[in-house]
Amino acid sequence: MQSIDSLNRIHTTWIARLVEEFALSEGVRESFAGELQRFFDFLAESLRNANPAALNQILLDWSRSLTQSDFNDRGETLVSICNQLFLSTYKIAENELSDTDALALIRALLPVQSQVILFAGELEKQRIIEQITTDLDKVRNEMSRLDKSKSDFISVAAHELKTPLTLIEGYGAMLRELLQSFDANINIAQVLEGMDQGARRLRQIINDMIDVSLIDNDLLTLNFQPVWVGRMINIVKTEYEPAIRDRGQILEIHQFDGSDEWIFADPDRILQAIRNLLSNAVKYTPDGGKIIVGGRKLPGFLEITIADTGIGIDPDDQLRIFEKFNRIGDSTRHSSGKIKFKGGGPGLGLPITKGIIEAHGGTLWVESTGYDEVEYPGSIFHVLLPMHKEPPDTTFAKLFRPLIEMDKKQTDK
Ligand code: ADP
């Protein structure tokens, strides 16, 4: 057949030109040349048998692999690729063959092209439907995740908010009684302290819920300032000393390289993160246990570690504890103070801490051989903070320029 002869005559130029035209990245060029060869062979076969269906298999393969290829990144579809292949074939035929041969070849190829485009269009349609179905599944999963989160929120709210409210109501009622009867045996200061405690706890839970929703919606804004991590640790140490004494625990603070250097971070949020981790170490370590805060300087990062000799965490739970409202173990356990052994809480401390550290560009993870209330294997929480020497915000950078310049001079020396 004359058209097959003509097609074979342009074979070498056809492969070389199309590899060039599609200008793919180095790694995929070779396999693309192989695919072009396959297309060419099927094209010749479809001319030989006068049956364009010979190309269906390769189109099917291409449609499956298109999503992971360079073509997809460039927004090309199977239809546009096929069209380009045929148009280039016509151009090459025009240049390489005599007018009569080129015309005969183009005439023979035109019906093949229209069949191919129809089939490619059909495949494209199916691919889009599959894509939409997958996207819909993702949305459905996300919605059921949100639904679960919502019901977790309701159960935590029911549990956690009721306790301090009961405190306030109880002491309020006592106060009313007291004022009516002027009972000198009841200590007003104690009653007010009880109400105050309830209100503080309520505020804390509400603040945590606000923080968690800020983090969830990427709305946590950081106030970058020079921060000395060592100083932050010492502030939290002073806050927790009375509690640690009450529990008969030992708190060791190990100074480490880098803890006395300043980095740009949000001091309030860093304090909050360290406070949460130390408060958990106190809560989940038995009376008489030990807590060690230390760290080290790594290239570009500062690592803070908070280690305890507490109940430890099962490896299966070591990711779950960073999800909100996820309280491990006794699920009925609820807030019974910030320092009481296994005191529990709404299960927001670690998600918030993780959110704060990640907002700084860092990471937070835990290391523990497992959960054991006999052997007390303990846990080590690791905080990796980038040592930002410039604040991300240019306004802050201007404000702290002299400090940054001074530090540069010192490191250059
Ligand atoms: P909670 O308010 O329950 O303390 P967190 O988010 O701070 O919430 O912690 C989530 C869970 O992780 C806790 O309920 C506890 O089971 C576990 N956990 C956190 N810190 C420790 C620790 N240092 N040792 C053992 N378990 C811990």
The finding on whether 47 has its CB within 6 A of some atom of ligand 1 is: no
Is the distance from CB of 163 to CB of 170 less than 8 angstroms? Answer: no
Residue 226 CA, ligand 1 centroid: distance in Å: 30
Determine how many CB atoms are found less than 10 A away from the CB of residue 348: 24
Nearest by Cα to 205 from 266, 158, 173 = 158
Nearest CA to ligand 1 atom 13: 327
The finding on whether 321 has its CB within 6 A of some atom of ligand 1 is: yes
Q: How many CA atoms does the CB half-sphere of 278 hold within 13 Å?
A: 27
The finding on whether 345 has its CB within 6 A of some atom of ligand 1 is: yes
Give the torsion sign (CA, 348, 306, 337, 341): positive
Give this prediction's pTM: 0.65
pLDDT tens digits, the chain, 413 residues: what are they? 688 999 999 999 999 898 888 766 666 677 788 889 999 999 999 999 888 888 999 999 988 887 656 666 677 888 989 999 999 999 999 999 999 999 999 999 999 999 999 999 999 899 889 889 999 999 999 888 888 877 777 777 777 788 888 888 888 888 888 777 766 666 778 888 888 888 888 888 888 988 998 998 888 999 999 999 999 999 999 999 999 999 999 999 999 999 999 999 999 999 999 999 999 999 999 999 999 999 999 999 999 999 999 999 999 999 989 988 766 665 445 555 567 887 777 789 999 999 999 999 999 999 999 999 999 999 999 999 999 887 777 666 677 777 777 777 776 66
Residue 310 CA, ligand 1 centroid: distance in Å: 11
Which residue among 321, 330, 379, 381 has the greatest number of ligand 1 atoms within 8 angstroms of its CB, and so is best to mutate?
Answer: 321
Residue 313 CA, ligand 1 centroid: distance in Å: 9
For ligand 1, what atom is nearest to the CA of residue 347?
Answer: 8
The finding on whether 289 has its CB within 6 A of some atom of ligand 1 is: no
Residue 327 CA, ligand 1 centroid: distance in Å: 7
Residue 325 CA, ligand 1 centroid: distance in Å: 10
Residue 228 CA, ligand 1 centroid: distance in Å: 26
pLDDT value for 148: 80
Nearest CA to ligand 1 atom 21: 280
Residue 141 CA, ligand 1 centroid: distance in Å: 27
pLDDT value for 96: 94
Residue 321 CA, ligand 1 centroid: distance in Å: 7
- CA 400 to mean position of chain CA atoms: 31
pLDDT value for 24: 66
Determine how many CB atoms are found less than 10 A away from the CB of residue 392: 12
pLDDT value for 329: 61
The finding on whether 308 has its CB within 6 A of some atom of ligand 1 is: yes
The finding on whether 360 has its CB within 6 A of some atom of ligand 1 is: no
